[in-house]
Chains A and B, each alone.
Chain A
Amino acid sequence: MRAPLFFLVSLTIAALLFGLAARVGNDYLFFAAYVVLQFVVLATAWNILGGYCGYVNFGTAAFFAIGAYTAVVLHKIGANTGRYLPDALQFLRPLFPLSVPVMIGLGGVIAGVVGLCMGYLTLRLRGVFFAIATLAMAVVLQTLVINWDFVGGSRGAYIIRPDSIAVAGLKLGYVQYLCVVMGVLAVIALSVARLIERSRLGYGFASIRDDELAAEAAGVPTLRVKMIATTISGAFMGMAGAPYPYYIGYVEPAATFGLPYAVNSIAMPMIGGTTSWVGPLIGAILLGSLQQIATVTISSAANLLIVGVLLVLFVIIAPKGIIGLLHANRRPRRP
């Protein structure tokens, strides 16, 4: 399937699902769906670097928080442009308050730039050092945010979201609106991942994952290719984070930089399968829904335990994930 067609088809599927959910008329459905979609974006973004290139990023939460705090800053500036907008930038005043999609774009740009710098600093080293450095970056950023009063420091910041919003003449509840935005973002992320997979760039990624030295010797500009991967991956994580303050209403560093984001975005591709865009999608839908159910029926700490245990079990028993299991069953039919 050609990329534009794929994009349109998945957008249609997403729209149909949304229509179905709207028929049910239960608002909780949208709250839950938003989280699942957010994880689809995060898992796909993680997989672009982790699954395709083989570089493990433990810092998902950091990129996610960059997006979230970009939105907090922009929201706060938007709420009082006269006071917070620097004089040199006053000409931008008519643009505020920014809409959520614009914030997503800006959050993505900033997270992408951070990803690029991060990659430049550490990607010349062995993959392990990159993994450790991403962990380190998450803590450095968290400390910066805790000490940054403008966004509320460790007290956190409140964002009061509007009750509803009119999109193209249609009046939508705000959570439904966020759900739509996140759905579109998920479709974009999946399309980009699929496009990468089938492009020159994707083969470059795969060659790095399989044997970096051989790739370098064969003429793949490995450092540049890896930096492209960290940038795209970081940008999508930032985009996934930007609507978060509006969804949750209250942003504080401990939760925004929390380990669950990192674990989930690693566990979902690992469980689904890391070599194609389908894996993170399956993993995110399965694990995301499972967690939503477990949070409601058992407790939110227990659902994290489930994720951790599943992650460890899958990497030990089924290293290729659910996709790998499906393929293994299909193989004997080959003539």
Chain B
Amino acid sequence: MNLPLDLLINAVIAGVLLGGFYAAVTVGVSISFGMLDVVNIAHPAFIILGSYIAYIINATTGLDPIIIALLALPAFYLLGAGVYQVYYLAFERRGQESLRGLAFFFGLLFITEVALILGFGVDYRYVQAAYIGPSWRSAIGDLPLRMLIPCLFSMVMVLGLQFYLTRTFTGRAIQAVAQDQQALQLLAANPVTIKRIAFGISIATASLAGALLIIIQPIEPSVGRDYIGRVFAICVLGGMGSLPGTVIAAMLLGIMESFTATFYGPSWAPAVAFGFLLLTLAVRPAGILGR
């Protein structure tokens, strides 16, 4: 096959930028699913919620979506902590988290989606910002700012989280909580509190990820569903709860999707993520950087 080189380079660049953004989408699940063992399949719904909040405030005040997302972080943190409290009281404490917990999050996903459809209809919504149109022309090819900025912010967020998780006491406690709760209690840290904080953080990342999503593409309520597969594919492939693994897996998936979209057509792109996930689960469930 005779591939034009610039097309190839553009596909790789687009893939890396897309992958960077996917890291932001996945990092919340890497924390909740990878570290806390809470199978939050509603995470994409929270991301879409973040997108809609960015859309509403941007449409009324014209504020930059990323600033809106940063302002909304505390609210999302509280929302996450609240959801975890319900989850803990209703399922984890009773030891029935697997079946009913899944149904609970699935219900949340569905409620959010339907509520957004009732509120805003199924029209595609988008935000206004100065950097959404132009591209940055560089030596290696065109870098659309619409993709570059989400990628950069995503990387900053992931780095910040990695720093927090490895350098602070609470962060290390979060990493420890899934491994050994009793040992954690011996260090005078309450596992439930730690998990609540961690889950709050994981939902807070959805606020920023949502704003980045609506910068990249117009959204409607059911877009979130496409992300379930991506998010879990990346999380599993990245080795469940390893943030560097998450970034690598996100980039890999981004590049693969971008190649598929370039050479086979965009309608095949969603199948890539899910096919990738099925393959990962079948062949190497421990992920690339698995323990």
Contacts and interface: CB of A to CB of B under 8 A. Distances in A.
Interface of A: 50, 54, 56, 58, 121-122, 125, 127-129, 131-133, 135-137, 139-140, 142-144, 146-147, 154, 259, 262-263, 266-267, 270, 274, 301-302, 304-305, 307-309, 311-312, 315-316, 319
A272 to B, nearest CB: 13
A253 B270 CA distance: 14
Interface stretch (B10-18, B68-76, B181-189, B274-282): B274-282
Given A125-B285, A127-B98, A301 B278 contact: no
Contacts of B178: none
A312 B107 CA distance: 6
Contacts of A121: 278, 281-282
A122 B222 CA distance: 26
Given A144-B271, A147-B267, A316 B98 contact: no
Interface stretch (B46-54, B110-118, B139-147, B150-158): B110-118
A18 B31 CA distance: 53
A129 B281 contact: yes
A166 B275 CA distance: 45
Given A58-B41, A262-B106, 5 more contacts: A56-B102, A133-B277, A143-B268, A143-B274, A267-B103
A305 B115 CA distance: 7
A22 to B, nearest CB: 35
Interface in B57-73: none
A309 B41 CA distance: 17
Given A139-B226, A266-B106, A315-B107, A54 B281 contact: no
Given A122-B282, A129-B285, A319 B100 contact: yes
Interface string B37-50: 00101000000000
B103 A315 contact: yes
A270 B102 CA distance: 12
Contact of A139 (B86, B106, B115, B274): B274
B268 A147 contact: yes
A127 B271 CA distance: 22
B96 interface: yes
Interface in B189-218: none
Nearest to B283: A121
Nearest to A127: B98
B104 A315 contact: yes
Contacts of B106: 58, 262-263, 266, 311
Contacts of A259: 110, 113, 222, 225
Interface residues of B, number: 43
A125 B232 CA distance: 15
B282 A305 contact: no
A136 to B, nearest CB: 4
A121 B285 CA distance: 11
B5 interface: no
B96 A140 contact: no
Contacts of A304: 110, 114
B96 A319 contact: yes
A143 B267 contact: yes
A223 to B, nearest CB: 14
Nearest to A144: B271
Interface of B: 39, 41, 86, 90-91, 94, 96, 98-100, 102-104, 106-108, 110-111, 113-115, 117-118, 222, 225-226, 228-229, 232-233, 236, 267-268, 270-271, 273-275, 277-278, 281-282, 285
Nearest to B39: A128
Nearest to B279: A121
A104 B103 CA distance: 29
A220 to B, nearest CB: 18
Nearest to A274: B99
B113 A133 contact: no
B103 A56 contact: yes
The 7 tightest CB contacts between A and B, nearest first, are A143-B271, A312-B107, A136-B274, A308-B111, A311-B107, A308-B110, A316-B90
B232 to A, nearest CB: 5
B104 A316 contact: yes
A305 B119 CA distance: 12
Contact of B102 (A128, A133, A267, A305): A128
Given A54-B99, A133-B278, A309 B111 contact: yes
Contacts of B114: 301, 304-305, 308
B115 A263 contact: no
20 contacts: A54-B99, A56-B99, A56-B102, A58-B41, A122-B278, A122-B281, A125-B285, A128-B102, A132-B41, A132-B236, A136-B232, A136-B273, A137-B278, A139-B274, A143-B274, A147-B267, A304-B110, A308-B107, A312-B111, A316-B90
B236 A129 contact: yes
B108 A131 contact: no
B277 A146 contact: no
A50 B275 CA distance: 23
A146 B118 contact: no
Contacts of B103: 56, 266-267, 270, 311, 315
